[in-house]
Each structure stands twice: as structure tokens, then as C-alpha cells.
Structure 1
């Protein structure tokens, strides 16, 4: 008699920070921490002197931001300047045709690389400058880090992209490489375990 074949349930996808989500969410009343859902992330390299910027704008839904800045399109995409000819495109809607459309728009003048599994975003809300002052030299005063500012810098021992999501630096998105994400999460938890740092007043 043949043995009955066993069926197994499909494996559920897990994020690298799944085991830390609850700890991050409950770590502090002063700073709320949210691991953002996975999004399509595309690395765009572009020779702006040769490219059709109108075609790129039509695909992305907005203009590419300039140095040390980011932009949010009406459709909710985030465009982050990474270098003189490099941008990160984050699409929370996970638009299926975005990659192919962007490749067509930059043909002959650039390249598009799908990097959705390479980075993860963590949103901080609250007394964010006081927390991040423990691990970065970035001046997070609103005069220096207004809404839309974006910069790559060290947080502890990891390089992350800091994106300002508010006028007063109370909402900051950290974009970390997946391999460094557990370290960044643990750094945040450790930094919140002690009293927050309070930077000197701007210009002081």
C-alpha cells in the first residue's frame, strides 16, 4: 500500500527585522519607531546631459531631486539623491511596470538596477534629533535638515541614508542596507535605553 503523500504549507516570507518589530514599536514614548513595509527600490544611474529628463519625469511622476535632497511624488514615490549621477527610487505601491518603463526612458543614457532586497526603511517619529545625536555627526536642526533633506552618513558603525520627512526634523526615515539593518535596529534599541541626548542649541 502506497504511503499517503504529505503536504506542507508554503513558507511565509519573513523580513529581516520581523523579530525586532515589536521591541522597536514599544521601546520608547519619546520616539516611535516603525519598520516600513517592503517597497520596490530601483537604483538609477543617469547622464543628465544625454537623457530625456521629460521622459524620466513622466515615468517617475516628478523631477529628480538635486544634491543632498529627496522628493516625494504625488503618487507617493520617494526619489533620493545619492550622488552626482545616482538616485534611489522607492515605490511603496510596487508598480509592476515601473522598472521596465524607467529602463526605456533612460535607454542609452543610464541604467536601472532592481535593488528591492538590498535596503530596508525605518521611520522615526518624535524626539528624533535627540536620539540620533548619540550616533551621528549630522546637524539635525531644522535649519540644516529641513523637509526633503537627504544625506548618507554614519549612524554608529553603519552607513545609512537619512531622509527628513517633516519641517522640524521630528520625522526621519532611515534607509539601511539589509545586511546592516539588524545592527541599526539594535543600536536604536540600545540608544533608547538611556536618557536621550540633547544637542546644543543651533549656533551655540
Structure 2
């Protein structure tokens, strides 16, 4: 007898929003990014040399309010004095183990891949997001490589500047707030008062 059972397919929490965001785009394009491996990294510099961790990552650990991208495409985001978020789109099967070996008992590596996802805002990103943030996203204060945590409306989001002119901003949001943020973005895209004109220089 033939097996008629259907194979279950994994569904992302924002799969329902992909087409809606594409249709709503005007001067701004918002895309849901593929799920990436996300590792929370803690390093006690008094017990382990950061250089051992940096050798694994291929880049120096970034300082306050900044992010760097490694040659392999992983982004390392500063979260605190001894804490970073490593976002690896390639979902390397060896990265977590290599980082654990590098930190030893002088830190910790925790897989948080299911905890957050990303939206990439392109175009008049600064103008769109201005409706929901309390800080200035002007390139002079938010240059490429800047990363900070703040509120977008009522959700805590990590903002990463991906361009020199603030035209590409990545939003890294906890999955529990993902639909809220996607709904907020849709509302802002559809409401012309959300960003009446590009903010310019």
C-alpha cells in the first residue's frame, strides 16, 4: 500500500508577510532575510585571549555600538562589554564548536538561532523608520557598521547600518515580536504620512 502521508514543511513566522511587504513597497523595499545561525558569545578577557576567538571569526571583535562582517559573511555585533551576537547566514556546522573551543572556560557560546530573525530595509530606510524610532539615523551618527539596540515603536530591535548613506538598515528582532514589527512596517509603508519625503542630508 502506498504511503500517502505528506511531508511537513518548516514555515517561518513571517512567511505570510513576504508577498505583502513586496506589494506594499514604494520608495522602500523590505525583505525578510533567510534564517541564519545566531550565536550569543561571551568572552571574559581576563581569562581568555580575545585573539583566539578572533582567529576563529576571521575579524577583530567589534567595540561599542558597532558590527563587523567576516570574510565568510558572518556578522559580529557588539551587545555589551563582554557580549556579542554572531550572525552566520551560511549556518556553518563547525563555527559553534570552534568558538566553544576558543573560549574554553573563559566565556560561553549559546546557540540562539531560533530567537531572532532579520528584516532588511532598503531605499529611504531612514525616512521610513523615523516614524518609530527616537534616535537619529542620519549617516553622520549612524554610519555603516553601526549597530545599536533600541525601540522600534514598542519592540526592542537591533539596528545595523549596512550602507554609508543609511539606505540599507537591517532590523534584527526577536521572533516573539516579529509579527508586530512586520505589521508596523506594513502600516508605515502604506501610510504616506509615515515618511512624507526623503530626509536627505
| TM-score (ref. length: structure 1) | 0.93
Residue of structure 2 equivalent to 1:171: 168
Q: Kindly report which structure 2 residues correspond to 1:27-106, keeping only aligned pairs within 5 A, or say none.
A: 27-106=24-103
Residue of structure 2 equivalent to 1:25: 22
- Give the RMSD, CA atoms, in angstroms: 1.5
2:152 to 155, 158, 164: 155
| Mean CA deviation greater in 165-174 or 4-13 | 4-13
2:180 to 152, 162, 183: 183
Q: Aligned pair in 2 of structure 1 residues 201, 115: CA closer, same or farther (>3 Å)?
A: same
Provide, for residues 14-56 of structure 1, a one-character-per-residue CA deviation record: whole Å limited to 9, x for no partner.
Answer: 0000001111122122100110101110000111232222211
Q: Highest Rg: 1 or 2?
A: 1
Distance in 2 separating the partners of 1:178 and 1:184: 10
Distance in 2 separating the partners of 1:200 and 1:74: 33
Indicate conservation of the 8 Å contact 2:127/2:199, yes or no: no
Q: CA deviation at 1:201?
A: 7.3
Distance in 2 separating the partners of 1:182 and 1:140: 23
Provide, for residues 80-108 of structure 1, a one-character-per-residue CA deviation record: whole Å limited to 9, x for no partner.
Answer: 00111110001111110110110000012
Indicate conservation of the 8 Å contact 1:124/1:171, yes or no: yes
Indicate conservation of the 8 Å contact 2:43/2:50, yes or no: no
Indicate conservation of the 8 Å contact 2:41/2:109, yes or no: yes
Are residue 109 (structure 1) and residue 106 (structure 2) matched? yes
Q: Aligned pair in 2 of structure 1 residues 24, 199: CA closer, same or farther (>3 Å)?
A: closer
Structure 1, unaligned runs of 5 or more? none
Residue of structure 2 equivalent to 1:118: 115
Structure 2, unaligned runs of 5 or more? none
Residue of structure 2 equivalent to 1:12: 9
Distance in 1 separating the partners of 2:42 and 2:184: 31
